[in-house]
Structure 1
Amino acid sequence: MVIANTGLAGIERTLGELDALMDDLGFVRWAWDYDKAHYDFKIEDKQTGATYFLRVPAEAIRGRLENPLAVLKLKDPLIAKHLFPHGLDYDAPIPPAVEEAAKRTLNELKAALEKEESR
């Protein structure tokens, strides 16, 4: 499921800046190649024990991903249910508590990006 209207899509930062900021917030850069990356944040549904991932995709618009000075542009975040061992189900229904946790995390991310930009 795409989470639209977060204000994150289109924000540009270097790979080094994003890696540090995302790590501070609990995101991990798992899936990546030379021109795109996904920062994932794990959310557990306390009622069912199911695992969901909040994913913030980024695309390299200048440079290659292995270079910390490469510039990345964020895209709209996604949330998906983890289906072991098959991967992520982007069409699975998202429980309200998980969706709220995702939105809180995205608000924290937006605030951190704005704070970092004002430096």
Structure 2
Amino acid sequence: MIIENTGLNGMTSELAHLDESAERLGFVRWQWEYYRATYDLKLEDRAGKAEYFLRVNTRAVEGKLESPYAVLAIESIYIGRATFPHGMEYESPVPQPILNTATQRLQDLKKLLS
């Protein structure tokens, strides 16, 4: 599920600041290469016994990710349910408490980056 209207799409930040801000909120920069990075936040639904990942995609608009001064632009933001053993499923409905937590974390990230 793509999360729209977060106010984050198109925001830019230096890599070091984005890493620090995201880490403060529990995000981890998992996938990355020279020109793009993905920040993931694991959210657990104990009632439904499922794990969801809030994923923030970024792309370098200045420099490469080797440099803490590289400037990244935030692109799409989406959430999906983890599937065994290493997949993500983006079509199933997400429980409202998980969506509420995701929305709050995205608002917090926007504040830290502003």
TM-score of the pair, normalised by structure 2: 0.95
State the superposition RMSD in angstroms: 1.0
Equivalence for 2:107: 107
- Residues 38 and 58, structure 1, Cα contact 8 Å, conserved in 2: yes
Structure 1 segments (4+ residues) deviating >3 Å: none
Q: What CA distance in whole angstroms lies between the structure 2 residues aligned with 1:113 and 1:68?
A: 15
Q: Which consecutive residues of structure 2, in runs of 5 or more, have no partner in the other structure?
A: none
Identify the structure with the greater strand proportion: 2
Equivalence for 2:34: 34
Q: Which consecutive residues of structure 1, in runs of 5 or more, have no partner in the other structure?
A: 115-119
Q: What CA distance in whole angstroms lies between the structure 2 residues aligned with 1:92 and 1:33?
A: 29
Aligned residue for 1:88, secondary structure, equals strand
Q: What CA distance in whole angstroms lies between the structure 1 residues aligned with 2:53 and 2:74?
A: 17
Shift of 1:102: 0.6
Shift of 1:66: 1.5
Equivalence for 2:9: 9
Q: Deviations over 1:75-105 (max 9, x none)?
A: 1311010012131111122111111111111
Q: What CA distance in whole angstroms lies between the structure 1 residues aligned with 2:113 and 2:69?
A: 17
State how 1:1-119 maps to structure 2 within 5 Å: 1-114=1-114
- Residues 6 and 76, structure 1, Cα contact 8 Å, conserved in 2: no
- Work out the number of aligned pairs and report it: 114
Q: What CA distance in whole angstroms lies between the structure 2 residues aligned with 1:68 and 1:104?
A: 27
Aligned residue for 1:29, secondary structure, equals strand
Q: What CA distance in whole angstroms lies between the structure 2 residues aligned with 1:69 and 1:111?
A: 20
Q: What CA distance in whole angstroms lies between the structure 1 residues aligned with 2:107 and 2:13?
A: 17
Report the identity percentage: 45
Shift of 1:36: 0.6
Q: What CA distance in whole angstroms lies between the structure 2 residues aligned with 1:76 and 1:25?
A: 18
Q: What CA distance in whole angstroms lies between the structure 1 residues aligned with 2:18 and 2:86?
A: 28
Letter in 2 for 1:107: Q
